[in-house]
Amino acid sequence: MKYNFCGHSGLQLPAISLGLWHNFGDVDCFATMEKTVRTAFDRGVTHFDLADNYGPPPGSAEENFARIMARGLGAHRDEILVSSKAGHLMWDGPYGDGGSRKHLMAGINQSLKRTGLEYFDIFYSHRYCPETPLEETVQALIDIVRQGKALYIGLSKYPVEVARRACRMMEEQHVRCLIYQDRYSLLVRKPEQEHLDFIREQGTGFITFSPLAQGLLTNRYLHGIPADSRAARSTGFLKREDVTPELIEKLRSLNTIAAGRGQSLAQMALAWLLAKSEVTSVLVGASSPEQLENNLKAGDNTVFSADELAEIDRILA
């Protein structure tokens, strides 16, 4: 495993981290979850990314991770980075959502209780809440560090100008924003227009989620929409109407380039992110140890020729 320093800090993150957003709720097989996490750690994946609302149901991913830690992995706590977040809807009522001090403090306290941990290595504001004064959200994050509930703080999915303001507020109190998290993939290029300059200016780390675009950047959709795929479900972020014939044709063209590199489409999509100097770590969500092993092979070849990069951009233009 390659490890990268996280922005202008002494903390190193593995190039590939394991996200527990999907496949770690109560509807999933605990034995598979445990084996996937243990396989990750054995392969040098030292960072596990959670949030209070991960499941389903919300909270269950943190509870299942606690069970895994209690069954032996906890002996390696000082070799592991655990991150969590608060800011999305967790319970009904006026305090169960948003960026208020009340919600963030309740959120981290509940998450620490669910995971059985004394502290998180990284704790994020999971989203920008325009109804809350930014100063309130930032001060809560700073106090979370000063209270010893987290070692570092980060921002997730913030508009770039708001993130800049938040970072300045943190620096004024000598608690820097360690890391920024957002969606980034071959199919979602928005950070290139908005956030990469911010990452370089601030000296923060950058960790990407949904690197395979909810499974689109795998071999699952090369011949249409499988009946058991995310796009075929009535719930979720990926909709059937998103998988157009034009997109499928682009995926097939990308798959041809990947085959020429000796990689699967998923491996090439991950390698494309790993090759970017601004990216500290890439969050993958694996449903099995075997899928995780295949994803980790992306690190074997992260060198792209100028012709390959130009052809990828031409396909996706």
- Indicate the average pLDDT of the chain: 95
Q: Residue 316 falls within a domain, yes or no?
A: no
Q: Is the Cα torsion angle 97, 103, 108, 112 positive or negative in sign?
A: negative
Q: If you average pLDDT over residues 209-224, what whole number do you get? A: 91
Tokens in use for 180? Answer: 């920024």
Site of tokens 């149901």: 57
Which residues in the chain belong to E strands, given as ranges?
A: 3-5, 12-14, 16-19, 47-49, 81-86, 120-125, 150-156, 177-183, 205-209, 281-284
Q: Per-residue confidence at 232, pLDDT binned at 50, 70, 90?
A: low
Q: Residue 12: its pLDDT value, please?
A: 98
Range of the domain at 194: 3-217+272-300
Separation CA 229–CA 189 (nearest Å): 24
Express as a percent the part of the chain with pLDDT over 70: 97
Tokens in use for 90? Answer: 């967790």
List, for residues 241-296, the tens digit of each pLDDT value: 888 999 999 999 999 999 999 999 999 999 999 999 999 999 999 999 999 999 99
Tokens in use for 139? Answer: 């001060």
Nearest Cα neighbor of 219 from 294, 154, 142 is 294
Q: Residue 243: its pLDDT value, please?
A: 86
Q: Residue 255 falls within a domain, yes or no?
A: no
Q: Per-residue confidence at 239, pLDDT binned at 50, 70, 90?
A: confident
Domains of the chain: total? 1
Query: Residue 312 — φ and ψ, nearest 5°?
Result: -60, -45
Express as a percent the part of the chain with pLDDT over 90: 91
CATH number where 101 lies: 3.20.20.100
Pair 50, 72: CB distance under 8 Å: no
Separation CA 161–CA 86 (nearest Å): 21
Q: Residue 262 falls within a domain, yes or no?
A: no
Partnered with residue 14 across adjacent β-strands are 3
Q: Per-residue confidence at 231, pLDDT binned at 50, 70, 90?
A: low
Q: Residue 311 falls within a domain, yes or no?
A: no
Separation CA 100–CA 88 (nearest Å): 11
Q: Residue 45: its pLDDT value, please?
A: 98
List, for residues 200-215, the tens digit of each pLDDT value: 999 999 999 999 998 9
List, for residues 107-127, the tens digit of each pLDDT value: 999 999 999 999 999 999 999
Q: Residue 133 falls within a domain, yes or no?
A: yes
Q: Residue 228: its pLDDT value, please?
A: 62
Given a cut of 60, whether residue 234 has pLDDT beyond it is no
pTM of the model: 0.95
Q: Residue 242 falls within a domain, yes or no?
A: no
Nearest Cα neighbor of 155 from 163, 147, 145 is 163
Separation CA 186–CA 212 (nearest Å): 8
Query: Where is pLDDT greater, at 18 or 225?
Result: 18
Q: Residue 230: its pLDDT value, please?
A: 67
Query: Residue 48 — φ and ψ, nearest 5°?
Result: -120, 125
179 contact partners, CB below 8 Å, separation of at least 6: 6, 7, 122, 124, 152, 154, 155, 204, 205, 206, 207, 280
Q: Residue 259 falls within a domain, yes or no?
A: no
Q: Residue 235: its pLDDT value, please?
A: 58
Q: Residue 246 falls within a domain, yes or no?
A: no
